Amino acid sequence: MSAFRNSPNILFETTVTATRRLSPGFVRVTLGDERLRDLAPHQLDQRIKIMLPVTGDYPAGLRAGLPEQGWRREWQSVPDRERPWLRSYTAYRTRPAAGELDLDFYLHQPHGPASGWAAAARPGDRLLLSGPHIQAGQPGYGVQWEPGPAARVLIAADETAYRRCGASCPAWGRKCGRRSCWRRVSQRMPPPSTT
Ligand SMILES: Cc1cc2nc3c(=O)[nH]c(=O)nc-3n(C[C@H](O)[C@H](O)[C@H](O)COP(=O)(O)OP(=O)(O)OC[C@H]3O[C@@H](n4cnc5c(N)ncnc54)[C@H](O)[C@@H]3O)c2cc1C
């Protein structure tokens, strides 16, 4: 657990405010909460963790505001059969001023816990997630996009990495004045106009 002692991530409690089917294979879930104003908008391929309840509701010890070291300790103390599923996602669009965040879920067939949750998500549903607090600094924590001095980059990604790449490439292009070209190769992916 000491690995998370310096983590900038805390637990946020959010509510689904909207869902939108982007393509046959993707759904965008918009989450809202006042406290999401404190979610750092690092963008790029910023990784977050989401928690899906196993028994319909979350164990009481998993409270908003817990730092990563604390929520992981609580999470591990929950009996196996009740412990929420933990999955990695990309904080695709953060809108701190509005207290909102978009997550784009690839809908696995058959669904796993996270993609099944997203496929059925409705406004009002709760979702706990762990992400960076704006005052914690460390904008590189959870960001793995490091093209270095490369002038040209070719990325091949499956659907689950579509948003990680889609968030990183245009930012990289803007930073070094290069054009980024982003192609989808499957009709199950969202068209570029939905980025
Ligand atoms: C840093 C990071 C960021 C990510 N960002 C995103 C994102 O923004 N959007 C996104 O959609 N995904 C993203 N992913 C991928 C996402 O975390 C996985 O797809 C996740 O496992 C889905 O969870 P699930 O509960 O729906 O399915 P899981 O239970 O994890 O299973 C995934 C699929 O694989 C199948 N499966 C499971 N085990 C096996 C097996 N042994 N053999 C064959 N099939 C199997 C399941 O049936 C299901 O269809 C990201 C991953 C990482 C690491």
Compute, in angstroms, the gap from residue 89 CA to the centroid of ligand 1: 9
Distance in Å, CA 176 to ligand 1 centroid: 32
**What residue owns the CA closest to ligand 1's atom 52?**
88
pLDDT of residue 84: 98
Taking residues 105-115, report their average pLDDT.
Answer: 96
165-191 pLDDT tens trace: 766 666 666 666 666 666 666 767 776
| 11 pLDDT above the threshold of 60 | yes
Assess whether pLDDT exceeds 60 at residue 146: yes
pLDDT of residue 174: 65
Note whether 50 and 115 are within 8 A (CB).
Answer: no
Closest CA to 98 of 176, 38, 19: 38
Q: Tell me, what's the pLDDT at 50?
A: 98
pLDDT of residue 162: 80
Question: pLDDT at position 177, please?
Answer: 65
Give yes or no for residue 195 having a pLDDT over 60: no
Q: Which residue, among 66, 134, 52, has the nearest Cα to 95 in the 3D structure?
A: 134
Q: What percent of the chain has pLDDT over 70?
A: 86
How many angstroms separate the alpha carbon of residue 187 from the centre of ligand 1? Answer: 19
What are the pLDDT digits (tens) for 32-59? 999 999 999 887 788 999 999 998 899 9
Residue 13 has pLDDT above 80, yes or no: yes
- Nearest residue CA, atom 20 of ligand 1? 87
Q: Distances in Å between the alpha carbon of 9 and those of 4, 20, 72?
A: 9, 27, 11
Q: Which residue out of 23, 44, 87, 101 has the highest number of ligand 1 atoms within 8 Å of its CB and is therefore the one to mutate?
A: 87
Q: Which residues contact 108 (CB under 8 A, 6 or more apart)?
A: 115
Domain spans of the chain, in order of start: 2-136
Residue with tokens 């793995």: 144
For ligand 1, residues with CB inside 6 Å are 47, 87-90, 104-106, 108, 110-115, 160, 163-164
Query: What pLDDT is recorded for position 2?
Result: 74
Q: Would the pLDDT of 133 be above 80? A: yes
Query: Which residue has a Cα nearest atom 50 of ligand 1?
Result: 89
Question: For domain 2-136, is the CATH number 2.40.30.10?
Answer: yes
Instruction: Give the residue, by CA position, lying nearest to ligand 1 atom 36.
Output: 112
pLDDT tens digits, 69-83: 999 999 999 999 999
**CA of residue 52 to ligand 1 center, whole Å:** 13
Which of 115, 130, 189, 195, when mutated, tests ligand 1's pocket best, judged by the most ligand atoms within 8 Å of its CB? 115
End-to-end Cα, the chain, rounded Å: 36
Would you state the pLDDT for residue 40? 94
